[in-house]
Chains A and B, each alone.
Chain A
Amino acid sequence: MPGKRVIIFGGDPAGLTAALEQAEAGNEVTLIEPSPSLGGGRISQTRIVAEDAAMEDPNLEAVRLHPNIRVVTNARIEKVKAANGSFQFRVRRRTPRVHPEKCNDCKACIRVCPIHMYDDFNEGLGFRTAIDYFNPKTGEYNIFKEDMPICQATCPANLDIRSYVGLIADGKYAESLAKIRERLPFALSIGRVCPHPCETACNRGVVDQPISICTLKRFVADWEMNNQVPAPVEVPDSFHKERVAIIGAGPAGLTCGYFLAKAGYKSVCFEALPEPGGMFRYGIPEYRLPTPTLMHEINWILSHGVELRCNVRIGRDVSFEDLRKDFDAVFIGVGAHKGMKLQIKGEDMEGVIDGVDFLRDANMGKPINARGKVIIIGGGNVAMDAARVSWREGFDEVHILYRRTKREMPASPWEIDAAEHEGIKIQYLVAPIEVLGENGRMTGLKCLRMQLGEPDASGRRRPVPIEGSEFVVEAETLIPAIGQRPDLAFVPEGSDLEITRWSTFAVDQETFMTNVPGIFSAGDVETGPDIAIRACAGGRKAALGIVRYLEAKRGSR
Chain B
Amino acid sequence: MMYEKKGRYIVEFQDIPKARQHQIEIDLEERRGSYKEVELGFDEERALNEAKRCLSCRRCLGCALCWAECKPEAIDFEMEDEVFELEADKVIVAPGVERDMERIDGRFGFGSNLNIITDLQLERMLSDTGPSAGLVIRPLDGEIPRSVAWVQSYEAASPQMHRAALCLAVNEARLVRRKIAQAEIQIVGRDMETFVHDHDADLHDAERRQMQEGVVESAESLEDGGVKLTIAGNGTKEEKTFDLVVLMTQPRISWDAQSLGKSLGVTLGYAAFLSGEDGGLLATEKASIQISPIQ
CB-nearest residue of chain B to A293:
B37
Can you list 10 A-B contacts (CB < 8 A)?
A80-B260, A91-B84, A98-B79, A116-B58, A146-B60, A192-B41, A215-B23, A216-B51, A285-B35, A392-B32
Chain A to chain B: the 5 pairs with minimum beta-carbon distance, closest first? A46-B276, A15-B94, A10-B94, A109-B66, A124-B14
- Within 134-162 of B, Cβ neighbours of A (below 8 Å) are at 139
Contact of A219 with B by CB under 8 A: yes
- Within 205-225 of A, Cβ neighbours of B (below 8 Å) are at 207-213, 215-216, 218-220, 222-223
Nearest CB on B from A265, distance (A):
26
Contact of B168 with A by CB under 8 A: yes
When A40-B127, A40-B128 are in contact, do A162 and B54 touch as well, CB less than 8 Å? yes
When A124-B13, A163-B63 are in contact, do A43 and B75 touch as well, CB less than 8 Å? no
Of the listed stretches B114-122, B224-232, B235-243, name the one at the interface; the rest are far from the partner chain. B114-122
Contact of A41 with B by CB under 8 A: yes
A149 CA to B209 CA, complexed, in Å: 48
Nearest CB on A from B93, distance (A):
5
Q: Among B42, B44, B59, B101, which residue has its beta carbon within 8 angstroms of that of A124?
A: B101
Of the listed stretches B1-9, B184-192, B213-221, name the one at the interface; the rest are far from the partner chain. B1-9
- Within 4-53 of A, Cβ neighbours of B (below 8 Å) are at 4-15, 17-18, 22, 27, 30, 34, 40-49, 51
When A14-B294, A112-B65, A286-B35 are in contact, do A44 and B167 touch as well, CB less than 8 Å? yes
Of the listed stretches A165-173, A253-261, A329-337, A518-526, name the one at the interface; the rest are far from the partner chain. A165-173
- What residues of A have a CB within 8 angstroms of the CB of B95 in the complex? 9-10
Q: Is the CB of B130 within 8 A of A122?
A: yes
Contact of A458 with B by CB under 8 A: no
A290 CA to B38 CA, complexed, in Å: 10
CB-nearest residue of chain B to A92:
B83
CB-nearest residue of chain A to B66:
A109
A168 CA to B21 CA, complexed, in Å: 14
- What residues of A have a CB within 8 angstroms of the CB of B293 in the complex? 14, 46
Contact of B103 with A by CB under 8 A: no
A227 CA to B103 CA, complexed, in Å: 46
- What residues of B have a CB within 8 angstroms of the CB of A10 in the complex? 93-96, 257, 292
Nearest CB on A from B154, distance (A):
14
Q: Is the CB of A107 within 8 A of B4?
A: yes
Question: Which A residues contact B (CB, under 8 angstroms)?
Answer: 4-15, 17-18, 22, 27, 30, 34, 40-49, 51, 54-57, 76-78, 80, 82, 85-100, 102-104, 106-119, 122-133, 135-137, 141, 143-146, 149-151, 160, 162-163, 165-166, 168-169, 171, 191-192, 203-204, 207-213, 215-216, 218-220, 222-223, 285-290, 293, 391-394, 418, 421-422
Q: Is the CB of A125 within 8 A of B164?
A: no
Most buried by B among A103, A115, A208, A286: A115
A18 CA to B279 CA, complexed, in Å: 10
Nearest CB on B from A477, distance (A):
17
CB-nearest residue of chain A to B101:
A124
Q: Is the CB of A143 within 8 A of B60?
A: yes
Q: Is the CB of A5 within 8 A of B82?
A: no
Q: Is the CB of B168 within 8 A of A288?
A: no
Q: Is the CB of A130 within 8 A of B35?
A: no
Contact of B180 with A by CB under 8 A: no
Contact of B275 with A by CB under 8 A: yes
- What residues of B have a CB within 8 angstroms of the CB of A12 in the complex? 94, 96, 294-295
Q: Is the CB of A41 within 8 A of B129?
A: yes
| Binary contact track B181-199/A, C-beta < 8 Å → 1, others 0 | 0000000000000000001
Q: Among B23, B59, B65, B83, which residue has its beta carbon within 8 angstroms of that of A117?
A: B59
- What residues of A have a CB within 8 angstroms of the CB of B251 in the complex? 45
- What residues of A have a CB within 8 angstroms of the CB of B67 in the complex? 109
Contact of B124 with A by CB under 8 A: yes
Q: Is the CB of B75 within 8 A of A98?
A: yes
- What residues of A have a CB within 8 angstroms of the CB of B245 in the complex? none
When A41-B128, A123-B121, A212-B21 are in contact, do A6 and B31 touch as well, CB less than 8 Å? no
When A146-B59, A209-B20, A287-B31 are in contact, do A89 and B295 touch as well, CB less than 8 Å? no
Nearest CB on B from A180, distance (A):
13
Nearest CB on B from A139, distance (A):
11
Q: Is the CB of A126 within 8 A of B131?
A: yes
Given contacts A34-B256, A162-B58, 19 further A-B contacts (CB under 8 A): A48-B170, A77-B260, A86-B88, A87-B87, A97-B75, A114-B61, A115-B60, A118-B56, A123-B123, A127-B12, A128-B5, A135-B129, A166-B58, A168-B48, A207-B56, A215-B21, A215-B23, A216-B50, A394-B33
Q: Is the CB of A168 within 8 A of B118?
A: no
A394 CA to B58 CA, complexed, in Å: 48
Q: Is the CB of A40 within 8 A of B275?
A: no
- What residues of B have a CB within 8 angstroms of the CB of A204 in the complex? 53-54, 56
- What residues of A have a CB within 8 angstroms of the CB of B9 in the complex? 125-126
A213 CA to B15 CA, complexed, in Å: 20
- Within 228-285 of B, Cβ neighbours of A (below 8 Å) are at 251, 256-257, 260, 263-265, 274-276, 279, 281
A88 CA to B87 CA, complexed, in Å: 5
- What residues of A have a CB within 8 angstroms of the CB of B202 in the complex? 47-49
- What residues of A have a CB within 8 angstroms of the CB of B71 in the complex? 104, 106, 108
Most buried by A among B12, B34, B47, B101: B47
Nearest CB on B from A165, distance (A):
5
Nearest CB on A from B287, distance (A):
10
Nearest CB on A from B14, distance (A):
4
A86 CA to B121 CA, complexed, in Å: 40
A117 CA to B8 CA, complexed, in Å: 12
Q: Is the CB of B131 within 8 A of A210?
A: no
Contact of B91 with A by CB under 8 A: yes
Q: Is the CB of A87 within 8 A of B129?
A: no
- What residues of A have a CB within 8 angstroms of the CB of B128 in the complex? 40-41, 55, 57
Nearest CB on B from A183, distance (A):
13
Q: Is the CB of B124 within 8 A of A6?
A: no
Q: Is the CB of A89 within 8 A of B85?
A: yes
Nearest CB on A from B5, distance (A):
7
CB-nearest residue of chain B to A9:
B93
- What residues of B have a CB within 8 angstroms of the CB of A108 in the complex? 66, 69-71
- What residues of B have a CB within 8 angstroms of the CB of A213 in the complex? 54
CB-nearest residue of chain A to B279:
A17
Most buried by A among B36, B118, B171: B171
Most buried by A among B95, B97, B203: B95
Q: Is the CB of B294 within 8 A of A125?
A: no
CB-nearest residue of chain A to B281:
A18
Nearest CB on A from B160, distance (A):
9
Most buried by A among B4, B68, B94: B94
Q: Is the CB of A80 within 8 A of B12?
A: no
A212 CA to B54 CA, complexed, in Å: 9
Nearest CB on B from A393, distance (A):
8
Q: Is the CB of B36 within 8 A of A287?
A: yes
Q: Is the CB of B57 within 8 A of A149?
A: yes
Q: Is the CB of B39 within 8 A of A192?
A: yes
